[in-house]
Chains A and B, each alone.
Chain A
Amino acid sequence: MLLGFTPLYAQQRPAKVRTAPKAVTATVPTDARQQAAFDATGYWVSLVTQNWRYRMVLPAHGDYAGIPINSRAEQFADAWNAASDVAAGKQCEVYGAPNLMQIPERLHIGWQDDDTLRVDTDAGMQRRLLHFGDDAAAAAPSLQGYSVAQWQLFNLANSFGAPDDPAAGPRHGSLVVTTDHLLPGLLRKNGVPYGAGTKMSEYWQLRTLDPDQWLTISTSVKDPEYLIGPYVYDSIFQREADGSQYDPSPCSLTS
């Protein structure tokens, strides 16, 4: 009896993902939706079990614990004033991709098309688009930036170079997302900034333990302008049966 396993193509957080993973042989799946390692579509709710004081309530001015900021960021945040930014119409600056998944919120995830995963949030009413196999070169900077995604598959049925057959057995894997082309924004609702050169990478994973299901996102934010090292955090979402609690609300810097 021979048993084998697909080589795992785990890798460091990529600067940019352009190609399909090596171990996924070019066979059956023709688009990202078919190739999906897991079904992320549906409604999800944040579980704020960590960083509660920074996420669920407004942190105090000057509270930068947990974010590896440099002195320039500290100066920026010390001088930051919420009222001024609200008056300037910048209420959504803390809802940019580098911080969006930390906001207490609900997600509605669906397929925009066969190669684009759409992630909507009720808090701040933001939309992220995760593009599979696409190139960000022509994208204009935006609050959510441009996200390139790829599935990292681990198929127990796929061994010794055999064709990757989605019908052959359980499929496991993760979603790796890299994002750049970001407009400057905030990492915390007390003025901790990130700059236009910020890049972020994420590992999205689905976890099941009956009767619950969780979506976890491990995020690494790199910003040469305001951070002295990667800002790494983990977000947890729990699956909800429907969208009855999905409650769109506008961006807010003051609550």
Chain B
Amino acid sequence: MKGQTLLLAGLLGAAGLVGTGVALAQVDLSGNWAAESMEDPVEHTDGGFPDMFAGIPLNEDGRQAGLTAPGDEAQELNRQCEPWPAHYLVVGPWGGRFAAVRDQAGHVIAWTLSSPAYDRLPMTIWMDGRAVPPPLSPHTYAGFSVGHWEGSTLVVHTSLLKDSYLLDNGVPSSNQETDTFFFTRFGDELTILLIVRDPVYLQAPLVLARTLRLVSGGAVVDDPILYCMPAETLAGFTDGHHSAIELPPQEAHQQAYLQGIYHLPLEATLGGAQTMYPQFEKKLQGRYHPPAKCTLYCGRDETLPIPNPIQTR
């Protein structure tokens, strides 16, 4: 199958199938897909920098929620195994596995998109035309997803998500978030465009892209975190039930961390829609001077320890 794209359909003569909204034809997405593109390499692997929101169109509520995020949920025993919402497919490190769900006639009525790790729940993408449940239906981390084909692109709309985080540095996501995924397969590569809309925390859609590569017959990653292993709480730091939430202002941390290491102006790190457009680069001219030398997460020959968000706050 490697290097090939299968077309599952061709014939759907049964008029009844059309009437019931069964998926008519599609590219075969089955298989294990591992992350290939290298956007935000540090953030995708070791985690995002606390309070670094540049390029994220946060509104003021989102910014304040992000600044006050504890960053130490693992210190709350009941949250140690909390999974990520559906958008983690694009902002997380793992990729995923597509599998078709067929009816008795062999037609694809849904796709499942699972994760090799415990921290994103499997998504079921319904292709049979069913309606999205009402807004007050139960919200889950996986959400409710419906899909359709636009040519060779699988378009998926996901809603009914739980309150969570958009990024692991505290950027929040609300239960009003909706995600639209565009999946297009090119041989052994799968491109994804994700459009996140969140009227609670975002002032504009957050648009992210990623490319995955088919890992034929293998695992998505060599060493995934297959299941959650509860972490120990730090004695003297928390009681196992509460996070060390810090209230604004957080500027001291910005100064000490993002400005100290990366020389990033506060105006940039606070995010907002303006920080994702080219004219913002001009706004920073004369106000930003790069560090003389990279000292952290430099790509090759990493020698410095991963910063602990708790310690950096």
Contact = CB atoms under 8 A, between A and B. Distances in A.
B11 A154 contact: no
B209 A236 contact: yes
Contacts of A3: 9, 11-13, 18, 24-25
A171 B299 CA distance: 42
Nearest to B209: A234
B81 interface: no
Contacts of A63: 294, 297-299
Nearest to B185: A10
B7 A45 contact: no
A7 B5 CA distance: 9
Interface stretch (B110-118, B186-194, B216-224): B186-194
A65 interface: yes
Interface residues of B, number: 68
A60 interface: yes
Interface in B234-293: 262, 264, 268, 275-281, 284-285, 288, 290-293
Contacts of B132: none
A248 B166 CA distance: 35
Contacts of B297: 63, 65
Interface string B15-54: 1001000001101000000001111111000000000001
Dominant secondary structure at the B interface: loop
A33 B36 CA distance: 32
A50 interface: yes
Contacts of A209: 180, 195, 205
B292 A1 contact: no
Nearest to A172: B151
Contact of B153 (A47, A53, A172, A245): A172
B36 A232 contact: yes
Contacts of A154: 151-152
Nearest to B35: A232
B211 to A, nearest CB: 5
Given A62-B293, A172-B153, A11 B193 contact: no
B3 A12 contact: yes
B10 interface: yes
B151 A123 contact: no
B11 A172 contact: no
A205 B206 CA distance: 18
A173 B290 contact: no
Nearest to A69: B300
B228 interface: no
Interface residues of A, number: 73
Given A59-B294, A60-B291, A10 B278 contact: no
B279 A8 contact: no
A238 B207 contact: yes
Contacts of B231: none
A176 B208 CA distance: 20
Interface centre among B186, B264, B284, B293 (most CB of A within 10 A): B186
A13 interface: yes
Nearest to B261: A60
B153 A11 contact: no
Nearest to A103: B278
Contacts of A203: 184, 186, 189, 191
A12 B183 CA distance: 16
Interface in B287-311: 288, 290-295, 297-300
B151 A173 contact: yes
Given A3-B24, A8-B7, A106 B278 contact: yes
Contacts of A10: 5, 27, 152, 185-187
B86 to A, nearest CB: 16
Given A49-B56, A67-B38, 16 more contacts: A2-B13, A48-B277, A50-B39, A50-B40, A57-B284, A57-B290, A58-B290, A60-B295, A62-B298, A64-B294, A66-B299, A106-B278, A174-B184, A203-B191, A209-B180, A236-B207
Rank and list the top 8 A-B pairs by shortest CB-CB distance, nearest first: A172-B151, A64-B299, A234-B209, A154-B151, A66-B41, A104-B278, A63-B294, A50-B39
11 contacts: A46-B277, A52-B275, A57-B281, A57-B284, A58-B288, A65-B299, A173-B152, A214-B193, A218-B189, A230-B36, A247-B279
